[in-house]
Structure 1
């Protein structure tokens, strides 16, 4: 079934309908405002919510991280929460859904790998890669119960478009009680719904990287108390890193149905996403000094990619055959499929008020589909000349030094230049099929005036079926859009196959996992004059059962002369089963004092837990439950000329497992802890009319503690070393990061124009746990111009990294210690300059 084709046809039909209705109402329609949350309407038709016009107001109602019917005002929230309206999301011009999280102080998304697969660091949480401490929610329900699986974080399952009304980001605090109990960041995206007056928008975007994108949304009234909406996007792009095929291609379609009752509402939604995206791994970068980086000859860290027409289509050998000269079985791969999503979600929210202080709410979601990866991954070896590479490979094979070689390019058979630099990149194949269903039910009872007790349950059932073939190292030119190289030795041995492969799979995995989580929680909130107290406790149990197929290592084609597949891992008969079950509590206590109607202070203490994921259990079935202790105080103030939200915290982390693989192949596992103190800040100053300056960011002082006295590792030169983690800065997290945005609104006779520039600074980080890979600091500059023309038209011009700054987000993730060799490092930078222009019609 061609889901994308159907999606595009339905979206096109919806947009045509929207344009027709918009044209018919052009004489008397007013610009649409975001609808209010149905639960707050108490059965009335949705009206524009004034608290959603700007997220920079303490009167705004937020629903994430609390159990209050209709949410609580920001000024009453005793925890750190960042909000973004649809306009603010657009103005942020995020490179991906993960990149938007930089709006939340204390969050550092590494937006350098493309649309998906982002590493997301939360200040004070020792993640070091992927996004284990970030949960994406849609209307309050997790998209998938586990925040991270290998090759899949929550942000990869979500794309931003015009169907999103606003977003709320909560750092820990009371979020440990609700949903999947995320102690890190909970990012909740609220969908737009229909309104009494039909309204919507249609937008077309063109980008300097070959981007063509179509966005649309239409909200409408079906009948009395019934409302619907439909919208989505479709786009294709060459990418800033052009692989000579579509770097990004796909779209999404979302629909909602809302029914308002006299005592509440029911909202249902369905969302289909099919999007394929190029994933970019570490590339060679010149590293003349600590924290200094520049272009590697032939490969720009800002625009380079190992993808090309010459290596787009390949065949990976995975299954051995037994007769001499036979052809192994395997898997055809297409790099254009990349690391994308092909999933669908359905869900809903039910809110009912029964009077006499009783009310209930229920949130549910079901998500299923595929989250596959076909991408190059760095092998960790720096580039060298082709002749040196062959000499080293001949020696490693135990062949005479006099052995010569013939090398040709696989795309045209021409002789390869022996003096050119080459690299090996692993062409990894991961097929991931997931399903997840969650339900969260609340019963609220107002015990007396100002005091509400909530009893609730969260239950999740989820599966993950995977097939991996990692390794498959390919010999490539060390340049942008390279050719693979085939190498045959003078004794008849084949060092590199006709496709350029120098190895078969180094890791073969086929596994099936089932997970079940259930949690009961009890919370109480008490409004006492200017005080708002809240406290709660949660007890959660996780059960996980896995079946991992056995493997063996050997020759795939029963031919010792084909050196490239003689030491491959492949699947065999039989399975290893893994069973896991743990129960752990979480709790929180918070207090907020409203000094005046525009000023408040708060304090909170909470303990959260982080259960191991399926991949953690495969590596170490006896994984402990991570425990996180958080203490924070905050201050909020708003006046006509200033908005201020400051939060100081201290986070303690316990029982963090870590495993490294030494040069001899042996693994060394240990636990560590961490301690962090820091400050998050978010402020807007308006010194005079029409002009504002926004400053947000954080200072984080986090270090590892309670680790083994000396952790062994293999250094770059092959020697065995050891080092202590104690006192080292948390991996990949900047001590200081900030974003400064001056903006000016210019009213005109025909509408208005807004100009803004954002300066971003990210301080030095380390790519490893022992501070041997300094990633340096970087800064970049983005801009935006948004013009509202009349009542209906809007033109947006925006650009990112306008100064083409190299910004390293990760070092050589295959190494534990020092990574630079000969002035070259394998690392990944943010993307180069990109500018896009959008024309939108609002009706």
Structure 2
């Protein structure tokens, strides 16, 4: 049966939820007991409009639909032209007003009911031994949670500008008569994505950690947490149907439920641990190191979706550092190495031919990040300080494998998408004590190096720098602060088009489309304490 859904983009995102919690803490002859119980229940409603494809040449875009239009509306179709949506081709739209470009976007509607109940019980004890002091904590954590989900996405044709209008791509005869329309009231494809499912989960975790002060200046800490999950859920498969409207192509590839219900279950587990050591040679110099093991199990969505990729991500991280401290001055230098194995570099990207996220490239392998971070602060005079940090790293893919025949050699060794090799900041501050008032004037200079939007590093996002400044005044119980960011309107992209770029980039050596930096902006904060 055909169903319709009425949505309003102006509703945006709505979250309604109820939360309650009870905490209990007590000491029993040196044993500290902590018990916490909480619960949440709510509903999330989401309406948003996303760009999907990058801007396209309007002539090329229309030409891609000409054959299908002639098949559907007859050989008398002489050309395809643009018009404002809903005018039946009468109000012509000229793409040259937008540099000859058009683009498709997607209305996304989502509804979800969710709940969670969690509890935590832990015991902490500090005690002396023949070799130093131990501060030990052991605990048990459990939770029950779940959600329902309904998602419906629809593709629209829009102009390239702020607050874009929807467009129709109309089939005209040689005399200018309207013979049909690729779109319908601005809709390029009806219900290109349709998902519905429900899932419930149970999780129980045991954890323990110990901070061991062995001798003066020498400390070792270690912790472990092991988790067991139980997922059960249902998912409703879909198929592609033609709704049969002969006047448009917009309904030809509509998603519909098949009537089948998939019952899916999974029982993942994960164990995380860390061991660190810190040794202070004296009051000024020290060294430290840490090894950490991370496991991220598949999430609940694998039993509420269709053909989900099930991978437990594992990572091992190593850190070694030196530190120096002289009063308010300090310098930390840390070398780090993180290896993800296995690492899931698979992506389901938007396919402009189908309007669905069905372009999948399953790459499973390794990823590594190695580098050095330097963080410091210098106070040459009482009223001036300069803080800063600089990071150099080499994030790259390695040993990727593809089960569908794709060649991973073009990705192995490439820089991980949206990760820069070099970034940092400098933060000068002028602080004045004016008796009853304290005045601070500060600045911030940040830089981010070159990054890439795609796995193959074909399209780069150039590096950028921004400058900000601000001032704050404390006057008794009052606090006033004004901050300006990106004062010189620097240009830069924080990411490209995440819905399409992972595979082929944008067809250019540098990104021409994406999420830009905010321009010059200011914030004023006034607060009072009682």
Same fold (TM over 0.5): yes
1:800 corresponds in structure 2 to 485
Matches for 1:760-775 after TM superposition, within 5 Å: 760-775=446-461
Question: Given the alignment of the two structures, is residue 691 of structure 1 paired with residue 384 of structure 2, yes or no?
Answer: yes
1:552 corresponds in structure 2 to 239
Aligned CA distance change for structure 1 residues 676 and 381 (closer, same or farther; 3 Å): closer
Deviation at 1:840, TM superposition (A): 2.8
Aligned CA distance change for structure 1 residues 564 and 456 (closer, same or farther; 3 Å): same
Deviation at 1:821, TM superposition (A): 3.7
2:469 corresponds in structure 1 to 783
Conservation of the 8 A alpha-carbon contact between 1:514 and 1:545: yes
Matches for 1:413-812 after TM superposition, within 5 Å: 414-417=91-94, 419-420=96-97, 421-449=101-129, 450-470=133-153, 472-490=154-172, 492-498=179-185, 500-530=186-216, 531-556=218-243, 558-597=244-283, 599-616=285-302, 618=305, 620=307, 623-660=310-347, 667-708=360-401, 723-748=409-434, 751-789=437-475, 791-812=476-497
Aligned CA distance change for structure 1 residues 430 and 583 (closer, same or farther; 3 Å): same
Conservation of the 8 A alpha-carbon contact between 1:758 and 1:783: yes
Question: Given the alignment of the two structures, is residue 376 of structure 1 paired with residue 68 of structure 2, yes or no?
Answer: no
Deviation at 1:625, TM superposition (A): 1.9
Aligned CA distance change for structure 1 residues 372 and 762 (closer, same or farther; 3 Å): farther
Deviation at 1:620, TM superposition (A): 4.8
Structure showing greater relative contact order (alpha-carbon pairs closer than 8 Å, 6 or more residues apart): 1
* Other structure's SS at 2:506 match: coil
Conservation of the 8 A alpha-carbon contact between 1:382 and 1:825: no
Q: Distance in 1 between matches of 2:511 and 2:279?
A: 54
Q: Distance in 2 between matches of 1:509 and 1:808?
A: 31
Deviation at 1:734, TM superposition (A): 1.0
Gaps of 5+ in 1: 1-319, 322-328, 714-720
TM-score (norm 2): 0.86
Q: Distance in 2 between matches of 1:349 and 1:361?
A: 8
Aligned CA distance change for structure 1 residues 407 and 828 (closer, same or farther; 3 Å): same
Give the structure with the larger strand fraction.
Answer: 2
RMSD: 2.9
Question: Given the alignment of the two structures, is residue 835 of structure 1 paired with residue 528 of structure 2, yes or no?
Answer: no
Q: Distance in 2 between matches of 1:824 and 1:733?
A: 15
Deviation at 1:344, TM superposition (A): 4.3
Conservation of the 8 A alpha-carbon contact between 2:485 and 2:522: yes
Q: Distance in 2 between matches of 1:666 and 1:750?
A: 63
Deviations along 1:101-130, whole A, 9 cap, x unmatched?
xxxxxxxxxxxxxxxxxxxxxxxxxxxxxx
TM-score (norm 1): 0.56
Q: Distance in 1 between matches of 2:394 and 2:408?
A: 24
* Paired residue total: 504
Deviation at 1:753, TM superposition (A): 1.8
Q: Distance in 2 between matches of 1:425 and 1:712?
A: 31
Deviation at 1:349, TM superposition (A): 4.0
Deviation at 1:695, TM superposition (A): 0.5
* Other structure's SS at 1:390 match: helix
1:325 corresponds in structure 2 to none
Conservation of the 8 A alpha-carbon contact between 2:241 and 2:255: yes
